[in-house]
Amino acid sequence: MLAQEIPLLPRGVRIHFDSVRDKWVLLAPERAVTLDQVGHAILAEVDGQRSFDQITAILSEKYNAPNDQIAEDSSGFLDALRARRFLDVI
Partner 1 sequence: MQAKAPPPIAMLAELTHRCPLSCPYCSNPVEMAKLDSELDTETWARVFQEAAALGVLQLHLSGGEPASRRDLVALVKSAREAGLYTNLITSAIGLSERRLNELDEAGLDHIQLSLQGTDAVMADKVGGYRGGFDRKMQTIEWIKHIGFPLTLNFVLHCHNAHQLPRALELAQEMGARRIEVATVQFHGWALKNRDALMPTREQAQQVTKLVTEARRDLKGQLVIDYVPADYHDDYPKRCMGGWGNTGLNVAPDGQVLPCHAAQSIPHLTFDRVQDKALADIWYNSSAFNAYRGTDWMADPCKSCERKTIDFGGCRCQAMAIVGDASATDPVCIKSPHHQALQDQANEHAAKADAPFVYRHSPGAATEPAE
Contacts with partner 1 by CB under 8 A lie at 10-13, 16, 18, 20-21, 25, 27, 29-32, 82-85
The least CB distance from residue 54 to partner 1, in Å, is 23
The least CB distance from residue 43 to partner 1, in Å, is 16
CB 67 within 8 A of CB 56: yes
CB 56 within 8 A of CB 69: no
Shorter beta-carbon distance to partner 1: residue 62 or 84? 84
The least CB distance from residue 53 to partner 1, in Å, is 21
Q: How far apart are CA 47 and CA 38, in angstroms?
A: 16
Query: C-alpha angle with apex 52: 50 to 57, nearest 5 degrees?
Result: 85
